Structures are given as C-alpha cells and as structure tokens.
C-alpha cells in the first residue's frame, strides 16, 4: 500500500511541478516533460479511433475498444495539452501479458511516444506477469525496431495471422521475459 501511495505521489507531484514550471518558465519545460500517460476512457474514443484509422488498413472498430474496457484490460492514452497523441492496450492472464495495440498519431511519431508507452506497459505487467507477448507484421519495420531495441525476442511465426490488402500476412511473435 505504501509503495502504491509513493508511486501515485511521485506522478502527481511530478505533473504538478512540471505544470508550475511550464507556466512560470515556459522555456524550461519541453513537450516531452508535459506528456502524460493516463487511463483511456470512453470520451477518448473519437480521438483514438481517428488515430487507429490513420495507422491501420484494417482498423479496430469502436466495439473492440469497448470490449477491452469491459474485460478490464489496461487501456491508456498518452496526452499533451488535452490532445491524445497515442494509445496502448494490454491484457493480462495467468502470468502472461499481451500487448494488444500500441499506436501513435502519424504527426507525432518519432518523438519517443511509442517507446514511452511500451515502457509503461512493461512496468504495468511487472510483478503480475512473467512474460509479455505481442504480434507484429513482418512489414512493420519501425515497430519491429522499437520492440527489438526494448529487448523483445522473436519466438515464432503465426502463419497468415493478419488480413492484408493482397490476402493474408504472417505475424512475428515476440516476447520479453519480465524479471520481477
């Protein structure tokens, strides 16, 4: 309990300090300092769906996100200045965590948001799961680079896992052992 309170205090104080400095000394605080990751709500869905549609040929529909809420999955957005820049979702069961989606607004990519969200999901899973898994399209070189340089390893291929514009595409399965 104490550990949890300390964590919450750290986040709240950190945000409050950053916001204070941003107002008094605007040049001393960067956009990166002011971005925050928080739980996704229904009110975020229009922004989330708009990013989802930008990023994928076969985007998730709203009901998939609401099913994730209902299932109690960990669903987060990264926001800055009241704007959703990206989102990520994680399911957890019997010692295994699974990254279901991680996605950043195309205009906001390449600023460390994807890495920040991935690290957040890894921290969320630590202590509750031994391994964190995900699937990625072999054609998604940017995402594969992010996962590999975060320590994920390839553990297999799921044949014809994804729908593709010209048929089906395999999925590369990646895993990261969480040393709690």
Ligand X SMILES: CC(C)(COP(=O)(O)OP(=O)(O)OC[C@H]1O[C@@H](n2cnc3c(N)ncnc32)[C@H](O)[C@@H]1OP(=O)(O)O)[C@@H](O)C(=O)NCCC(=O)NCCS
Q: Tell me which DSSP letter residue 139 carries.
A: T
CB-closest chain residue to ligand X: 114
> Per-residue x/- mask for ligand X, residues 52 to 71, rule CB under 6 A?
---x----------------
Question: Any contact of residue 47 with ligand X (CB under 6 A)?
Answer: no
- Listed ranges 17-25, 29-37, 38-46, 113-121: which one lies at the site for ligand X (CB under 6 A): 113-121
From residue 4 to residue 33, the character string flagging contacts with ligand X as x (rule: CB under 6 A) and all else as - is ------------------------------
144 three-class SS: helix
> What tokens appear for 15 in the block?
């945000």
Residues 6+ apart with CB under 8 A from 138: 144, 169, 170, 172
- Which span (15-23, 37-45, 104-112, 153-161) binds ligand X, by CB under 6 A? 104-112
Distance, in Å, from the CA atom of 106 to the CA atom of 116, rounded to the nearest integer, reads 16
Residue 164 binds to ligand X (criterion: CB under 6 A): no
Give the span between the Cα atoms of 161 and 170, in whole angstroms: 5
136 binds ligand X, rule: CB under 6 A: yes
Catalytic residue IDs: 135, 147
d(CA 161, CA 141): 17
Q: Residue 99, SS3?
A: strand
4 burial level (CB within 10 Å; 0-12, 13-18, 19+):
exposed
What is the nearest approach in angstroms of ligand X to the Cβ of residue 34? 16
- Determine if 142 is a binding residue for ligand X (CB under 6 A): yes
Report the interface residues with ligand X, using CB under 6 A: 55, 102-104, 109-115, 136, 140-143, 145-146, 149
């Amino acid at each position: 309990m104490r550990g949890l309170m300390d964590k919450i205090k750290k986040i709240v104080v950190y945000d409050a300090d950053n916001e204070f400095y941003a107002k008094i000394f605007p040049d001393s605080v960067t956009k990166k300092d002011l971005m925050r990751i928080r739980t996704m709500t229904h009110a975020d869905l229009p922004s989330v769906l708009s990013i989802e549609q930008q990023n994928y040929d076969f985007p998730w529909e709203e009901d998939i996100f609401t099913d994730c809420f209902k299932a109690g999955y960990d669903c987060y957005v990264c926001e800055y200045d009241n704007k959703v820049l990206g989102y990520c979702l994680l399911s957890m069961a019997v010692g295994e965590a699974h990254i279901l989606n991680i996605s950043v607004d195309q205009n906001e990519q390449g600023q460390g948001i994807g890495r920040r969200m991935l690290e957040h999901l890894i921290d969320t899973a630590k202590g509750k799961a031994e391994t964190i898994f995900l699937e990625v399209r072999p054609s998604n070189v940017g995402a594969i680079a992010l996962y590999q340089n975060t320590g994920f390893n390839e553990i297999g291929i799921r044949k014809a896992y994804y729908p593709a514009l010209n048929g089906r595409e395999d999925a590369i399965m990646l895993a990261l052992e969480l040393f709690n």
